[in-house]
């Protein structure tokens, strides 16, 4: 399998990202929270990064992260089943966390369905901690788990002034 190319999302990617969100993230929930017009809007937003993983000009994964002054929030992350457990999600998270660090951000937070044990394990492996449960978070029906991670790196003693 060819290695994915990681790039910022383009308005032309909005429809495919929205469909992936509907069928990989929002499955089983009434309505559609991330339709193409909303995705296109966040692709253009200055405080949001939409990252795409692409193989042979086909989107196989995407992530949407909003950047604040001191923290970032991962709104969505999905990888097509054909490319799951191949490192695509991990690489997208590393890319987004590096962008957040460059922007001076120290914390990344996210929410996910409490019954999505695969995703909970994925984020725990990346160092995210479960902070709280949010009953009814998903359309008043499903509970979410809020997770966060301090992404700041420690400075080696040889580089610190006090060392």
- Residues of the chain with pLDDT > 90, as a percent, come to 84
pLDDT for position 150 = 95
Are 74 and 48 in contact by the 8 Å Cβ rule? The answer is: no
C-beta of residue 132 within 8 angstroms of C-beta of residue 150: no
Classify domain 5-108 by CATH number. Answer: 3.40.630.30
User: Could you tell me where the beta strands, DSSP code E, fall in the chain?
Assistant: 5-8, 48-55, 58-67, 71-79, 107-113, 129-138, 142-150
pLDDT, tens only, 98-128: 999 999 999 999 999 999 999 999 999 999 9
Mean pLDDT of the chain: 92
Q: Which residue has the higher pLDDT, 161 or 79?
A: 79
The C-alpha atoms of residue 118 and residue 79 are separated, in whole angstroms, by 12
pLDDT tens-digit map of 54-77: 999 999 999 999 999 999 999 999
Q: Which residue has the higher pLDDT, 29 or 23?
A: 23
Residue 28: predicted pLDDT: 84
Mean pLDDT over 75-96 rounds to 95
pLDDT of residue 107: 96
Q: Where are the domains of the chain?
A: 5-108
Supply the pLDDT for residue 141: 85
Which pLDDT belongs to residue 162? Answer: 55
> Which residues lie below 8 Å from residue 63, measured CB to CB, with a gap of 6+?
49, 50, 51, 74, 76, 77, 78, 89, 92, 93, 96
């Amino acid at each position: 399998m060819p290695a994915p190319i990681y790039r910022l999302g383009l308005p032309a990617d909005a429809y495919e990202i929205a469909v992936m969100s509907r069928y990989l993230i929002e499955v089983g929930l009434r309505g559609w929270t991330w339709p193409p017009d909303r995705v296109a809007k966040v692709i253009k937003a200055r405080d949001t990064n939409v990252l795409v993983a692409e193989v042979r000009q086909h989107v196989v994964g995407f992530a949407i992260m909003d950047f604040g002054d001191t923290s970032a929030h991962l709104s969505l992350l999905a990888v097509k089943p054909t490319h799951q457990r191949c490192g695509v999600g991990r690489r997208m998270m590393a890319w987004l966390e590096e962008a957040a660090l460059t922007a001076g951000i120290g914390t990344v937070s996210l929410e996910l369905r409490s019954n999505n044990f695969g995703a909970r394990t994925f984020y725990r492996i990346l160092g995210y901690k479960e902070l709280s449960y949010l009953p009814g978070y998903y359309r008043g029906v499903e509970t979410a788990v809020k997770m966060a991670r301090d992404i700041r790196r420690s400075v080696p003693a040889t580089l610190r002034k006090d060392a």
